[in-house]
Amino acid sequence: MVTALDFEAGFVLHSRAYGDTSLIVDYFSRTHGLQSLYARGAKSKKKTGHRALLNPFIPLTVSAKGRGSLKTLTSIESVGPAYQLKGRALFCGFYLNELIKRLLPEDDGQSQLFDFYSDILSDLAVHAPEWGDAPLEVRLRSFEWLLVQKVGAGFSLVECIDAEPVRPNQYYSLIHQQGLQAVAPGEGAVSGAALLALAEGNLRLESDRQEIKQFMRRVLRPLLGSKPLASRELFK
């Protein structure tokens, strides 16, 4: 476990009150992954600027120290303007933050995941409502799949557990902690065509996007446990 952060690049995912004037901050750093930071006095009037930076979607560098899992924040600086997310793009940002917080272990540095997250925030910030939800759906599904792999729960999208290749005209179900198994079409089954589209990063068809959305919910369910994702309620 790292004992100090030294000008560590990252983003605040969430913060919550601690006492009358302080905050506990969930910080996603590029090198050291998820970190819990104690921001002493962050809510006091003397540290108004300090508090303003402890919000999601602002690129930051922070320094902190401590021997346990909760480190004390010692400095914080913005390294760029906040990503201005609006409407459903904002909901998507909250969803990504909650997924990271719920699934990524502390002190597990994931630079590829961090860079992808940063790229998605940039895309969400320029998303226009008239573009519809398709671009948002594509980015969310790609991030979900990368996160599943990074937490060690990935499996092959192109080969079944019996080593048979995934075929576009066949249907499949997921055997938890094993992989894909060919099944008859029906509820809970996903087409090979949609799985191969996800593997290729090519979810241009709405039918594929809808299938993979439901499929990824089934993939994430055992990882998230019984507590529902609060951010999903925003999309209703």
The tens digit of pLDDT for each residue in 82-136 reads 999 999 999 999 999 999 999 999 999 999 999 999 999 999 999 988 888 999 9
Same domain, 24 and 108: no
- Count how many domains the chain has: 2
pLDDT computed for residue 47 by the predictor = 55
Q: How far apart are the C-alpha atoms of 114 and 130, rounded to whole Å?
A: 28
Structure tokens at 35: 């970190």
Q: Which of 56, 78, 100 is the last residue of a domain?
A: 78
Is there a single domain that holds both residue 148 and residue 223? yes
Among 44, 78, 112, the domain boundary falls at 78
Q: What is the CATH number of the domain that holds 24?
A: 2.40.50.140
In contact, 179 and 185? CB cutoff 8 Å: no
Q: Are residues 66 and 98 in the same domain?
A: no
Q: In the chain, which residues have pLDDT < 70?
A: 1, 45-49, 236
Q: Which residues, at least 6 apart from 200, have a Cβ–Cβ distance to it below 8 Å?
A: none
Same domain, 110 and 183: yes
Supply the pTM of this predicted model: 0.93
- Determine the Cα angle at 224 with ends 61 and 86, to 5°: 50
Expressed as residue numbers, the domain containing 17 is 4-78
Q: Are residues 108 and 164 in the same domain?
A: yes
Residue 236: predicted pLDDT? 64
Residues 199 and 135 in one domain: yes
pLDDT of residue 229: 87
Q: List strand residue ranges (DSSP E) for the chain, in order.
A: 4-18, 22-29, 33-39, 60-65, 70-78, 171-175, 179-183, 190-191
For residue 88, which phi and psi values (nearest 5 degrees)?
-65, -25
pLDDT of residue 177: 86
Q: Look at residue 48 in the predicted model and tell me its pLDDT.
A: 57
Residues 131 and 212 in one domain: yes
Note whether 93 and 43 are same-domain residues: no
CATH number for 193:
1.20.1440.120
Same domain membership, residue 217 and residue 150: yes
Q: How big, in percent rounded to 5, are the helix, strand and coil portions of the chain?
A: 40, 25, 35
111-125 and 87-103 helices, crossing angle to 10°: 170
Same domain for 178 and 129: yes
* Structural domain ending residue among the three candidates 78, 105, 131: 78
Tokens (6 digits) for 143: 């991030």
**Block residue for tokens 């969430």:** 14
Q: Are residues 72 and 107 in the same domain?
A: no
- Same domain, yes or no, for 216 and 150? yes
